[in-house]
Structure 1
Amino acid sequence: MTKPVTALLEELLERIAADAPGAVGAAVSVHHHGSPLHVVASRGIGDVFVPAQLDGLGGPVATAGDTGQPVVTADVLADERWPSLTLTALLERHPGADWTRVRGSAALPALWDTEGRLVLSVTLDRPATEETLKVLRRHERLTAMALVVAEAALPGRIEQMLDLLQSRAALEEAKGIVIALRRCDPDEAWATLRRASQQFNVKVRELAVALVELLAGAPAPQPDGDRVIEPGPAARAAAEQVLRAFEGGAAEPAGL
């Protein structure tokens, strides 16, 4: 992670902490290409609380990363979903941290790469609510773009990052289609596209383009120049099955 990007992420966490009443910590965690979820920036109690969750204790961040669904808890250390995440366990790992201030927590997973996800999280000295998630959502897009810039700075990644940025229009349109047909939120729409791409063994961006073109009866948004995303026969067949399932009233194609 380059110094300018790290500084930007830290500034974003400062803004989240300022916008979320009672915030005592925040963090950005990522996983990519099958790598374990890990922290790339943190502040406050998030410096030690999020790594502890990812190092075997479990918690909102780990759950959001595994499921791709937002997580909110009013009392994280008493939540039955994470029996290992207790005050005793945290004191054993980090006895110098002020764990008495930890109460609620929220974690928001989001797309930042077609093969990776970020989890934006905040820890509070009071119960977390849906309003806490709204704070995270306001900062989600800029966080994702900061990570894209960081990846583009790595050797050999510029071409891949250009492909990602130029496929976003089709991905967003495909998410909109799923939202309209399933009457779900954006997080579940993205999770549905990911599951479909895995089931049919096609790239999610090709599935997105095929789905948009199938429903619109016209070409999907494409980048200028020669970076056209051309879905193969498997992606087009997958798009047809997904659309038939939704139009037939199924929540998802069989097997998802």
Structure 2
Amino acid sequence: MLQPTVDPADALAELGRIRLDETSLDEMLRRIAELANRSVPGTRDVSVTLVRGQTSQTVVSTGELARDLDEWQYELHRGPCLDASASGDSISVPDMAAEQRWPAWAARARSAGVGSSLSIGLPIQESVVGALNVYGDVAHAFDPPAIAVAEGFAAYAAVALANAHLYDSAATLAEQMQEAMRGRAVIEQAKGIIMGERRCSPEEAFTLLSKISQDTNRKVRDVAAALVAKAVESA
């Protein structure tokens, strides 16, 4: 059985010192996978699976073996990493030769020289889930203490992914709000132009913009932007 080259406590402490706001998600996940590979007793390869809707992908792996075995599960639409992703549970395959839940995948893993595996669910949020996958050379490679260590690394991966999702969501919301504010500003400019030309109220100016929008099948914002651009050209 492969012995760890890094003390798990030291590895987890190293991860704890990394600032998520100063490290890319890919780099953070790569460090988690590498340190797990070097710290969890019995580990040959580690990967991280992400599932968005119907799409599954391996975002990081410490070797082609883990990536290949992950992708074989994606092709079959069945396997421990997918089940762990869906449930958030830790799913152990202690002996590939005796595995009955996913026999086709287990046979492929066994032919690749993998005797056991462990997939730990990473509940991130409703539309994105994942798993930390650990592969071992021999059967029964992961005893309870090793599983506990792997779950510690999975917790860091879950936090990193959840923070990244929150950041992306916040950035998207901010962009949408900025776009809405830009749209509102150009509509107010267009209303001002119409009010000056027609000596009408703000409500009447917006009614005219709305009618042009309906007649031309364009957004009010686009109608307003065209009117403002025309006014600028004529100035």
Could you state the TM-score of these two structures normalised by the residue count of structure 2?
0.54
Give the unaligned 5+ runs of structure 1: 92-97, 163-256
Question: Which position in structure 2 is the counterpart of 1:109?
Answer: 121
Question: Which position in structure 2 is the counterpart of 1:14?
Answer: 34
Superposition map of 1:43-192 within 5 A:
43-44=62-63, 45-56=65-76, 58-87=78-107, 89=108, 99-100=112-113, 102-126=114-138, 127=140, 128-152=142-166, 154=168, 157-158=169-170
Query: Contact 1:108–1:133 (CA<8 Å) still a contact in 2?
Result: no
User: What SS is found at the alignment partner of 1:106?
Assistant: strand
Query: Contact 2:124–2:162 (CA<8 Å) still a contact in 1?
Result: yes
Question: Which position in structure 2 is the counterpart of 1:5?
Answer: 25
Identity over aligned pairs, percent: 19
Residue 38 (structure 1) aligned with residue 47 (structure 2): no
Give the deviation of 1:153 after TM superposition.
5.3
User: What SS is found at the alignment partner of 1:52?
Assistant: helix
Query: Which residue type is aligned with residue 43 of structure 2?
Result: A
Give the deviation of 1:22 after TM superposition.
2.1
Query: Contact 1:107–1:121 (CA<8 Å) still a contact in 2?
Result: yes
Distance 2:40 2:156 in 1: 17
Query: Which residue type is aligned with residue 26 of structure 1?
Result: V
Query: Contact 1:6–1:41 (CA<8 Å) still a contact in 2?
Result: yes
User: What SS is found at the alignment partner of 1:85?
Assistant: helix
Distance 1:67 1:152, change over 3 A: closer
Superposition map of 1:184-223 within 5 A:
none
Give the deviation of 1:72 after TM superposition.
0.8
Query: Contact 2:25–2:164 (CA<8 Å) still a contact in 1?
Result: yes
Distance 1:159 1:76 in 2: 44
Q: CA RMSD in A?
A: 2.9
Give the deviation of 1:16 after TM superposition.
0.7
Give the deviation of 1:138 after TM superposition.
0.8
Distance 1:99 1:13 in 2: 20
Distance 1:58 1:161, change over 3 A: farther
Query: Which residue type is aligned with residue 143 of structure 2?
Result: T
Q: Which has the larger radius of gyration?
A: 2
Distance 1:109 1:8 in 2: 18
Could you state the TM-score of these two structures normalised by the residue count of structure 1?
0.50
Give the deviation of 1:6 after TM superposition.
1.0
Distance 1:138 1:77, change over 3 A: same
Query: Which residue type is aligned with residue 103 of structure 1?
Result: G
Distance 1:103 1:161 in 2: 46
Structure (1 or 2) with the greater helix fraction: 2
Distance 1:77 1:116, change over 3 A: farther
Give the unaligned 5+ runs of structure 2: 1-22, 175-235
Count of residue pairs the alignment pairs up? 149
Give the deviation of 1:117 after TM superposition.
2.0
Distance 2:57 2:29 in 1: 14
Question: Which position in structure 2 is the counterpart of 1:234?
Answer: none
